[in-house]
Structure formats: C-alpha cells, structure tokens
C-alpha cells in the first residue's frame, strides 16, 4: 500500500471515515516513505513510536464516530515547534539536546484533533534563511529536478523540510512558520500550497521565536482544500499568547465554493520588478486571466511603499531576533561551551553563542544589536517601524477601495541550485520580495502552484487577503487552483 502517503488530507479523512483505510495503514506508509527518502534530508528527528501510538488511538476514535477532520492524519512538524519530550532545536546547534517539557499550542491543537506526528522537519536555523542551507542538520534537497539534470535544488526556506516532505509524499501535510515568506516561498518552490494566516490567528506559544511581531504558523499541504482543513485545526485563541486573537474560527472548508463572481482582485503595479523572468510575468498574467474568466473583476492598484518593505524587514526582524535570541546563554537549556581556566560568565556567554549560532544567525543578531544600539535606534529601528506603518496603510487604502484580494507572483524565480546564493546575504534576502510585505502588514497570504517553467520546475502565485478573511482568501485560491489545474508531481529519483 505504498501509495497511501500520496493521499490528500481530505481523501484520507473520507477514506478513514468510510472504513476503507486506517490511520495505522496511512502512518506505516508514510514511515516507509520517510525511510526511503533519507537523501532529501527533510525529516531530521523521526518519531515512529509516537506516530504508531497516535495512529492506533485515532483509529479507535474514528471507529467510535464523531472524530474531527484531522483525526488520524500523519503530519510532519517543523523543528521550530516545541514538542514535549521530542528534540526541538530550531535547526540550531545552540539547542542541541533540548527536549521541551511542554507542547506548543498549535501542535497541542493538532494532536487533540487526532493528528499523528511522524517526526520533526528540517528548516533554516531559527527560520533565518530562504534556501534551507543555514540548518545545523545540513541542506534539504528539493524533490523537484530540472528534467534529467541531477543538480541539487533548494526547496526554499525557511520551511524547506516541510515543503520537500509534502511534495515528496512523505506525509499528508506539514506545519510551517512564516516570518518573511518562509511558508509561501518554499511552497512555491516545491509545487505545493502554503498559507500564512493573519497575524494573531495561530498562537505563537511554544514556537521558537524569531521576530515576534511577524511570526505566524500555517499549514503546508497538497491542495487548497487540505490547507483549509488543517488551518482550521491550527487556529484559535490562546490565553498563553497575548497577541492571539479571540475570534471565532470559521469552517474554512465549507467556504470553498470556487465562486469568485463579483470579487475584486487587485494587481499591484509595484510588483513588476526589473529583471523579473518572463515566465513569472507570463504566469502572473495568466493568473489574472484565470480569475477574470471565473467572473472576478480585475483592477490595477498601487502599493507605493513596496520597495521599502525588504529594507524595513531587515531592520525589524534582526532587531526582534537579537532580543529574542538573547535567551540562548548556555544557562537554562541547550549548548554551553567548555570554558578555559579563569573564564567568567561573560566568556561563557560569548563562547557559547559563537559556537552555537551559525553564521547567518550571528549576522542577524549583530545587525539587530547595531540598529537597536544607542545613537542608531531612531535612524534605523524607529524609521523602519514608521515605514512599516506606511506599508500597512498602502494595503488599507486598496482594501478601502473595495479590493477583496491581491494577486502577485509568489517568488522572483523558480527553485535555484543549492550553494548558488549563499555568498551574498542581500541577494538571498531578495527571495522574499513578494512575500515580506504581507508579514509587515500582518495580512493573510497564500501561495498556490499555478504552472511550470521551461526547466520543468513549479511556479507559484500568491494571493493576499483582508485581515481575518482567510476563508474568502482560501476560496479565491481554490478558484485559481481549479483554473490552473496544476497536478504535476516530482518524478521519484530518491
């Protein structure tokens, strides 16, 4: 039954409820697929015993009737989520050996709904990266290749392990997190669907913090319907996260009608970048036409401060990171450097952090320290926060004009070769050019696979929605998915 891991969440749910397949069958199929896919380096801590126990419990619950939609669904969990008693180290050596005594709220909700954890997924260290090359576990390999070319491609980042695992059918869905594009960019690079909900939809409690005002969790799945099902299980108010919103979570799946007649879709002119590949431009135009053919009204809009989003992000995110990552001091958890005779507490901090953090994390912590330091706080940090206000206002203005959703490319390229962009941090940062505005404005955004480039690699489109209207956004994405008809899968070579 090797094909069971290829099922979608909706198919598996229906098959389990009908008694055609069990969670134990599904889980065994996924564990087998994971075992055969070591070369992708997507799963980094496997938890087969936990998975089988959860699968058996899920089967009993389904048999008893009235089980939630996620019951018995085998998932991969990004290493950024704290999972009780299971290694959770944010792909960093500084958290080597850390086994949380508690469970994150999002994973608690998923497991309470009966979902099965297959293991922890690779990612960029502390979610800082766009190619999954900053991980202490090594690179993740994208299951997609350029035809017969054996060059290893990035699955994107930071949720690169999640994207690769879902694309390669090692699990039915995976959790991701998105601070500047870390769900949507890898989803686009791997030909899968990924949604970042509105800031405050998912509790951040128990998720290792990177930039707290930007971080949001979300699902990475094989289609839009699965994203709707899994997102619903992840959302909800949590008293343990003061920024989590106390709003009812709608039945997102029930909102997938595919009807977008009368909706207004904005096309922002500032997202037409110099040097953007023709194929991305063409895909964007096709997406516009697909939504128009489906009955939506297309309008050209302007988001004038778009150009300043990345520079603002690269002040705010490192500033928050330098503060959040101050907790890694070698005292309470994780790595502590061995000390020389006469070393005091300052040497312990400095050596521990130099050994434990990789180069990109060190760079961002220090940039953040600099922009927050006396004399530069106003010039950099406060200015960036003011620009952030303007970026959010750009979106508020177009929503006030009646725009329901905004269509953009998801990424400025298809998946690139591993090792190609590692030398130039700023070049790497440009990967997030279309996604980072959404985090700065706290909006929901979804990446949907919509086509292929000449090399045979998937390309994604992004839809940006109004705050708290994930249901409407998912429905527009569903209409786009139906029109695009993207069904390609990577040819199995691993």
Partner 1 sequence: MSIDTETAARVAKLARIKVEEDALPALAQEFNTILGFIEQLQEVDVDGVEPMVSVTPMRLKRRQDGVTDGDQQDAVLSNAPDAREGFFAVPKVVE
Within 422-441, which residues bind partner 1 (CB under 8 A)? 424-426, 429, 440-441
- Smallest separation (angstroms) from partner 1 to the CB of 428: 11
Q: Identify the residue among 315, 403, 447, 463 touching partner 1 (CB under 8 A).
A: 315
CA–CA dist 164, 192 (Å, integer): 9
- Give the three-class secondary structure for 358: coil
In the three-class reduction of DSSP (H, G, I as helix; E, B as strand; rest coil), residue 9 is classed as: helix
Tokens of 213: 């005002």
Tokens of 275: 């040097």
Interface of this chain with partner 1, residues 98 to 117, rule: CB under 8 A? 98-101
302, two tokens: 């302007």
Binders of partner 1 among 212-231, rule CB under 8 A? Answer: 213
**Does the active-site annotation cover 182?**
yes
Least distance (Å) from partner 1 to the CB of residue 198? 7
CB of 343 to partner 1, least distance (A): 6
Q: Pick the catalytic residue: 10, 92, 162, 182?
A: 182
Catalytic residue among 5, 23, 78, 244: 78
* Closest separation in Å from C-beta 349 to partner 1: 4
Residues in 181-200 that interact with partner 1 by CB under 8 A: 198-200
- 158 part of the active site: yes
Q: Tell me how many residues contact partner 1 (CB under 8 A).
A: 74
Least Å from the CB of residue 99 to partner 1: 7
Distance separating alpha carbons of residues 371 and 356, to the nearest angstrom? 23
Interacting residues with partner 1 between 460 and 479 (CB under 8 A) = 467
Q: Which two tokens stand for residue 230?
A: 């899994």
Q: Of 74-82, 129-137, 140-148, 325-333, which part binds partner 1 (CB under 8 A)?
A: 325-333
Catalytic member of 10, 130, 158, 413 = 158
- Residue 261 token pair: 């007649």
Q: Which of 172, 160, 17, 3 is nearest to 91 (CA)?
A: 160
Q: Which stretch binds partner 1 (CB under 8 A): 37-45, 268-276, 399-407, 421-429?
A: 421-429
Give backbone dihedrals phi and psi of 74, rounded to 5 degrees, phi first. Answer: -80, 125
Kindly state whether residue 246 participates in binding partner 1, applying the rule CB under 8 A: yes
| Interface stretch with partner 1, choices 161-169, 286-294, 307-315, 484-492 (CB under 8 A) | 307-315
Q: Do residues 210 and 180 touch, judged by C-beta distance below 8 A?
A: no
Interacting residue with partner 1 among 322, 462, 475, 476 (CB under 8 A): 322
Query: Which of the ranges 9-17, 56-64, 242-250, 289-297 carries the binding residues for partner 1, by CB under 8 A?
Result: 242-250
Least distance to partner 1, CB of residue 372, Å: 9
Residues 361-420 that bind partner 1 (CB under 8 A): 362-363, 365-367, 369-371, 373, 379-380, 382-390, 392
Which residues, at least 6 apart from 5, have a Cβ–Cβ distance to it below 8 Å?
26, 29, 30, 32, 33, 74, 169, 170, 171, 172
Q: What is the DSSP string of 109-130?
A: HHHHTT-EEEEEE--SGGG--S
- Give CA–CA dist 70/111, Å, rounded: 9
Q: Which of 65, 262, 275, 344 binds partner 1 (CB under 8 A)?
A: 344
Min dist CB 364 to partner 1, Å, is 9
Binding residue for partner 1 (CB under 8 A) from 339, 420, 422, 488?
Answer: 339
Using CB atoms within 10 Å of the CB of residue 147, give its burial: 0 to 12 exposed, 13 to 18 middle, 19+ buried: exposed
Whether the ω angle into residue 453 lies within 30 degrees of 0, i.e. cis, is: no
Could you say whether residue 45 binds partner 1 (CB under 8 A)? no
Residue 270 interacting with partner 1 (CB under 8 A): no
Q: Take residue 114 and report the two structure tokens written for it.
A: 């009966």
**C-alpha span between 93 and 264 (Å, rounded):** 47
Type and span of the H or E element at 405: strand 405-409
Exposure b/e, 273-285, CB count within 10 A at least 16 = b: beebbebbeebbe
When asked if residue 128 is in the footprint of partner 1 (CB under 8 A), the reply is no
Alpha-carbon span 52 to 118, nearest angstrom:
9
Least distance to partner 1 from the beta carbon of 122, Å? 22
Checking DSSP bridges between strand 173-178 and strand 264-268, what pairing results, if any?
Answer: unpaired
Using rule CB under 8 A, residue 288 touches partner 1: no
Angle, helices 345-356 vs 359-372, to 10°: value is 130
Closer residue to partner 1 (CB): 330 or 451:
330
Stretch that binds partner 1, among 40-48, 228-236, 254-262, 301-309 (CB under 8 A): 301-309
Comparing CB distances to partner 1, the nearer of 145 and 364 is 364
Residue 80 binding partner 1, by CB under 8 A: no
Helix, coil or strand: residue 332: coil
Site membership for partner 1, residue 311 (CB under 8 A): yes
80 with 55: CB under 8 angstroms?
no
Taking CB under 8 A as the binding criterion, the range among 25-33, 94-102, 411-419, 481-489 that sits at the site for partner 1 is 94-102
What's the 3-state SS for 230-251? Answer: HHHHHCCCCCCCCCCCCCCCCC
Catalytic residue at 302? Answer: no
The catalytic residues are 78, 158, 182
């Amino acid at each position: 039954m090797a094909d069971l891991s290829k099922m979608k969440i909706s198919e598996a749910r229906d098959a389990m409820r009908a008694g055609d397949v069990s969670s134990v069958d599904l889980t065994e199929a996924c564990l087998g697929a994971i075992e055969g896919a070591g070369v992708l380096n997507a799963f980094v801590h496997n938890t087969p015993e936990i998975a089988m126990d959860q699968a058996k419990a899920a089967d009993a619950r389904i048999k008893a009737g009235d089980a939630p939609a996620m019951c018995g669904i085998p998932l991969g969990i990004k290493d950024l989520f704290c999972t009780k008693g299971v290694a959770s180290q944010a792909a960093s050596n500084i958290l080597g050996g850390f086994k949380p005594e508690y469970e994150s709220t999002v994973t608690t909700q998923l497991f309470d709904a009966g979902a099965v954890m297959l293991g922890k997924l690779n990612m960029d260290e502390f979610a800082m990266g766009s190619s999954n090359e900053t991980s202490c576990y090594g690179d993740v390999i994208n299951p997609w290749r350029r035809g017969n070319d054996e060059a290893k491609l990035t699955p994107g980042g930071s949720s690169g392990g999640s994207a690769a695992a879902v694309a390669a059918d090692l699990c039915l869905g995976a959790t991701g997190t998105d601070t500047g594009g870390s769900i949507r960019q890898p989803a686009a690079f791997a030909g899968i669907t990924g949604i970042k909900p509105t800031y405050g939809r998912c509790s951040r409690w128990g998720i290792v913090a990177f930039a707290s005002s930007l971080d949001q969790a979300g699902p990475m799945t094989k289609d839009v319907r699965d994203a709707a099902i899994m997102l619903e299980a992840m959302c909800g108010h949590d008293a343990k996260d003061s920024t989590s919103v106390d709003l009812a979570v709608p039945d997102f799946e029930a909102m997938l009608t595919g009807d977008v007649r009368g909706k207004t879709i904005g096309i922002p002119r500032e997202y037409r970048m110099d040097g953007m590949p023709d194929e991305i431009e063409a895909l964007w135009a096709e997406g516009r036409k697909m939504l128009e053919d489906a009955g939506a009204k297309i309008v050209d809009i302007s988001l004038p401060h778009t150009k300043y989003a990345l520079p603002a992000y690269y002040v705010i995110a490192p500033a928050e990171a330098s503060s959040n990552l101050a907790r890694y001091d070698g005292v309470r958890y994780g790595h502590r450097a061995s000390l020389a005779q006469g070393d005091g507490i300052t040497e312990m901090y400095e050596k521990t952090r130099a050994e434990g953090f990789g180069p990109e994390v060190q760079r961002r912590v220090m940039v953040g320290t600099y922009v927050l330091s006396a004399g530069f706080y106003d010039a950099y940090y406060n200015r960036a926060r003011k620009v952030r206000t303007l970026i959010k206002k750009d979106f508020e203005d177009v929503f006030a004009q009646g725009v329901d959703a905004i269509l953009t490319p998801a990424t400025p390229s298809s998946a690139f070769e591993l090792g190609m962009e590692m030398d130039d941090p700023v070049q790497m940062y440009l990967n997030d050019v279309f996604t980072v505005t959404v985090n700065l404005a706290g909006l929901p955004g979804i990446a949907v696979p919509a086509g292929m480039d000449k090399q045979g690699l998937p390309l994604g489109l992004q839809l940006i929605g109004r705050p708290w209207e994930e249901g409407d956004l998912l429905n527009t994405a569903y209409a786009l998915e139906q029109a695009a008809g993207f069904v390609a899968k990577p040819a199995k070579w691993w």
